[in-house]
Every structure is written in C-alpha cells, then in structure tokens.
Chains A and B, each alone.
Chain A
C-alpha cells in the first residue's frame, strides 16, 4: 500500500512522489518505539481484533436497564364524557402540592439510584468480560504447555 494517496486528477502523482523520494535521501527518523510515554508507543488498536466477540449475552438486558432507569410521573386521564377534563384538572390541582414537593424528589432519587445500579452492573459486566478473556488466554497457554510437555515426554521415550 502506498503511503501517500493523491486522488486529484489535475495533480501529477508520479512527479510529486519522485520529488519526495529525492528529498528523503540521507535523512534519518528516530526510533519512536523507544521514545515518550509507554502507552503511546503502540500502534492504535486494530478495530477488527478488538471489536469481535466482546459482548456478553447480558448486554441487551443492560441496555434495557440503562434506558429505562428514569422513572416517569404518570399522567392523569379520565374516560368520563364531558366532565372527564374537569376530573383530570381537579386531581392535578389536588395532587400538585404533594407531587411537586414530595413525589417528584423521590422519583428523582429512585431514578438516580437505578442509574447508578445500571452503571455498576455494566462495570461488573466489563470486569467479568476482561477476567474471562484472561482466563481464556491462560487456558490457551496451559494447553500449549501441556502439548509441549507431552511432546517432550514422547521424544524422551
């Protein structure tokens, strides 16, 4: 794969690349793999290898929990003809004081708790996925070691 991509048909790609090549002679690039913070030395993670097979079967449940953690105050309705809207209005006025100063703060409190639980569960799920990955890697290593040991034992015989 070429390092430089030139798509503009009005530019002379060959000429540009030749000019660059001529300029590069004798210049040296430092070994960046040994310079700067350790975490920045590696290449940016490969998308495919890291995005596959990471989701647990619980994921859909977490999604449901996360998006429905916010409680809702139910709306008053009435099916009664003509006086229905009056009944609704009356109940709204009647409940306004307790709802605004008592029920709504409790709803908010509960929504916050629900949200925190959802986040905590998600973090636990992430942690478990990471541990599972570690266990899988260790199992693979053990299998490899076992086959080496078996091969050694066979060759000794």
Chain B
C-alpha cells in the first residue's frame, strides 16, 4: 500500500518537517511504500522530497492513502479536498489571525484563511491533532469527533543527544556566571515577548542584577521584532538581553544546557516543542497557563495566569535558587517527557492508523 504525505513546505530543523520525516521512516519500516511531496523544498533535504506536481496522478488511486499536514493556508489544500484516495488530515494548528492584525497584514490574512479553510477539510477518513488542544479545535471546526485522534510530534532525541556543543557560545554564556533565562521560538506577537522582557526587567532590577535573557528564534515579522528591540533599549537592557535570531541545532542545545530557566509567555501554542526540549535538557519551565501549554506540561513545570510581574519574578528566582524545588520540577518534567518520546509517539501513530484499518490492510497483504 502506498502512503503519500503532502505538506506546503519542508525545511531541515523545522519541527513539522522532522515529524514528517519520522513518520515516513516508521511507515517504511512497517512495510508501506511511503513518499513525501512538498511545494517549497529546501535544497538541503530535496533528495528525500518529491515536487508537489508529481502527486496529482497518484491522488486518483483509491487504494492509496494521503496524509496532509496542515499548518498554513496553502493551495495544496485543494489537492487534499479533491483527492479520491483515503485521506488523513494532520492539524498542526494555525495561530488566530488577530495576533498578527496590527503587525503583519499578509500573515494575518493567511492565518484567517487557514483557520476558515479548516472547516472545509472535514471530508476525510481521520483527522489528527498533535495535541488534544488541536484535536478539540478540529471538533470545534465541525470534524466528526469519532474520526479524530491525537499523535504527538516525533522528537529527534537521538539527534539531540548526538549534537555537539558550541563551545564558543558556552564560554560566552558562562563567562560572567550570570543567571540565564531562555525563551525559544520565532519572534511573533502571540508569544508576548514584551511581557517576558518586562518581567526580566523587574527580576534584574529588584532581585538579581547579574542576569541575562536570551530570546532565541527567527525574526521574520520585522515590525514586531523591531519593536521588541526598541523595548529592550527603552528599558536599558541592551547589554543583558540577546536576540541571536535563528540558530543552528548545536547552538540551540548549548542555549538549553547553559540556561537556568525556560520561560514562555505565549498566548497560543498548538503543542510547543520548546517545552519538550526544555524537559529533555533538564531546564525548569515557567510558562503561561494558556492554549496547549498546560496539556503539554501535564503536572510538570510552573504555570502563571497573568503577570503579577513582581510575584512572577520572585517565583522565577525561587525556581532558580531553591535547589530542592528545582530538582523536583526537573524530575517531574523528566517523567512527563516519557509521554512524548519516539516510542510513545509511534504507538499513538499505530493506534491512529489502526482506527481506519490501514495497518490491518498491510497485515492482510
């Protein structure tokens, strides 16, 4: 049996792309003929990916299965809608448009269309969310609850373990023995980075003057990124806040391993891979109690509902300095991590495919 994965774009290091490659690996291991098709293909991984145009004739084969990864509005959704083969939608979530409306009209339009179009992708055999939060959004959009499932994102833990540390960056981060706060994710309005910067300002001025904040992530939304830099300057934090942009995987590992606290003030996440990365690298998590974040954390980490800057800053300080508390948080995070390790994700993928009898088809052939 042939299974085709279709996605608007593939690029190395991206969580969705990695997820697709991992699914491809599992499907091949289980005996399926597996292919990946994308419109935008980064040249570094182009050998593994076929151009979108080649999928059209295959979509008429009734015995094939199409898996469409939906994370942005794209015309390829039309291929999914009109495909005559069996269909699975994997929904990676789309940020609600209003977060972007003041910052990036084009992005806001894409998000608005993307969320609107979701309602029109209901005609499928199964719809999968990376989290229960995403699955519930599918149900709210009108998908049949009995035809939904949850399969968490596959994490490249072997790759994380094998990655070398960036020693130059490590020396720089540990040079002053300062307390390092870390946040990871592209600079986007839904992440509310301005609130993290204000919280850090309170922490630095009222609690610990020897502290540094690293805001790691791409700066593609220029207007928002610029205002974030302006805020850093207004609060006189330019020497203690670093915005390195998008970094290599080695550098990312170095940031995680040399930080004292992971913080996220995001209002909207469909899964939030950096939380899992923090669990993996043993970094205590302090995050907003919003969207999929409490689900991803389970009972681990510490949540906040709103800032309360002074209260939140004191909590952050306690998480960094109270050794027993810190150890307990890290220990519970490690337990929670088990639910997202590749074996667990693989089992959930198997269950999902079993739900539409795809695996039994393989066993019968």
Contact = CB atoms under 8 A, between A and B. Distances in A.
Nearest to A68: B78
Contacts of A36: 194, 230-231, 234-235
B77 A67 contact: yes
A19 to B, nearest CB: 6
B75 A5 contact: no
A9 B328 CA distance: 11
Contact of A8 (B96, B235, B332): B332
B266 to A, nearest CB: 10
B305 A5 contact: yes
Given A20-B318, A40-B231, A68-B78, A3 B267 contact: no
Given A45-B98, A50-B98, A68-B75, A8 B299 contact: yes
A88 interface: no
B75 A67 contact: yes
Interface stretch (B113-121, B130-138, B168-176): B113-121
A60 B202 CA distance: 47
A63 interface: yes
Contacts of B318: 16, 19-20, 23
Interface stretch (A27-35, A79-87, A147-155): A27-35
A49 to B, nearest CB: 9
Given A3-B308, A36-B231, A69-B75, A11 B99 contact: no
Nearest to A24: B310
B329 A47 contact: no
Nearest to B56: A72
Given A20-B311, A29-B202, A36-B231, A44 B117 contact: no
A97 interface: no
A94 to B, nearest CB: 20
A20 B315 contact: yes
Interface stretch (B25-33, B101-109, B147-155, B211-219): B101-109
A123 B310 contact: no
Nearest to B291: A47
A29 B308 CA distance: 10
Given A4-B302, A10-B332, A16 B113 contact: no
A35 B234 contact: yes
Contacts of B120: 60, 63
Contacts of A9: 299
A11 B117 CA distance: 44
Contacts of B267: 44, 47
B73 interface: yes
B249 interface: no
Interface string B192-232: 10100010011000110000000000000000000110110
Interface of A: 1-11, 16, 19-21, 23-24, 27-30, 32, 35-37, 39-40, 44-45, 47, 50-51, 54-55, 59-60, 62-63, 66-70, 72, 75, 119, 122-123, 126
Given A4-B304, A39-B102, 9 more contacts: A3-B308, A5-B304, A27-B310, A39-B227, A51-B97, A62-B113, A63-B120, A66-B75, A122-B109
Q: Which 8 residue pairs are nearest across A and B when measured between Cβ atoms?
A: A3-B308, A5-B303, A67-B78, A50-B98, A36-B234, A36-B231, A20-B314, A40-B194
27 contacts: A1-B305, A1-B306, A3-B304, A3-B308, A4-B311, A5-B294, A6-B302, A7-B303, A8-B300, A11-B325, A16-B318, A20-B314, A23-B318, A24-B311, A36-B234, A36-B235, A44-B192, A45-B99, A45-B101, A47-B96, A47-B98, A47-B267, A55-B112, A70-B75, A75-B56, A119-B109, A126-B105
